[in-house]
Structure 1
Amino acid sequence: MEGNIAVLKKKSRIRKHIPIYLLALPGVVYMLINNYIPMVGIIIAFKNVNFRKGIFGSDWAGLSNFEYLFKTPDAFNMTRNTILYNMAFIIVNNVTAIMIALLLSRIKGKRKLKAYQTFVLVPSLISIVIVSYLSYAFLNGQTGLINSIRTGLGQSTISFYTEPKYWPAILIFI
């Protein structure tokens, strides 16, 4: 009898909060789609992927892919670069966000503030394809803007895409 009363109380509590659950539903669905469903892709690391068979039909490889990765002579460099780039991205993004927030907090006038917020936020909505084309337009070895300026100043051109020493700065900036 007490068990039935507890179940009824729980059901009435659930019914009482249905509007709140409905409000939370879009956020939960969004989180599932963007955070949890992609986790299925982790299985690719443990498979010998055959695109004809698909991911789930491919043969199981176990840890052999990781053995291959860490036996290569570049394993240390790849791991180091991954860690350093992620640290650089975290630092640059946080410092930039704090600086922009401080600058925006100093702006007087609601219209000016809204305009500056728009100018700051619109670039984050630009597609990565457009960013890639803009990068190509700036960095192309023959026709890029930077090399055109260098040629106009009488300096030699730089082949950004074939010189490894330029890539750390390019990756962090873009």
Structure 2
Amino acid sequence: MAIDKEKIKQAIRLFLEGIGEDPDREGLKETPDRIARMWEEFDRQREFNFKLFEEFGDYNEMVIVKDIRFYSLCEHHLLPFFGKVHIAYIPDKVVCGLSKLVRTVKAFSLRPQVQERLTQQIADFLQEQLNPKGVAVVIEAEHLCMSMRGVMTPGHITVTSALRGIFLKDLRTREEFLKLIGKQGL
């Protein structure tokens, strides 16, 4: 689905008017266009080439990239939630470039989202693309919809996980992953 810059600009202008602001005042005059360009930038990061490498086909131990920083928007309030993603997979004849794991996080997080779905989408995409022995994804995030509204207390961290294949079936593999990302006892 393509970004419609004009609709975004109209919507932001109406939003600003709706909250009692003057969209023509100096500080807000360019805001509708800035937001439209921001969403175009997000949209460009959703598409990438998920390159696989078969020359490392004999590698069959856990691959982990942890502490992948991400930003997303809660689809209920359009307020940010942000934090870290930890991803592991156990290859079955193919591996991907490590940056592709980071790009996968960006592709699914730069849209209105909920953390639970984001966790599952990343795990499902990697399972589909890599066809590995297993995938594990853990996300830790602070949600501004809790920090600056609602209960209005910052610092709460929500943790979600999605396990596929051997990470779901084998307790030792799951425990090794959690130990390596520093999350024993989850």
Q: Name the TM tier (shorter chain).
A: under 0.3
Higher helix share: 1
Q: Select the structure of larger CA radius of gyration.
A: 1
Higher normalized contact order (CA 8 Å, seq sep 6+, divided by chain length) = 2
TM-score (ref. length: structure 1): 0.25
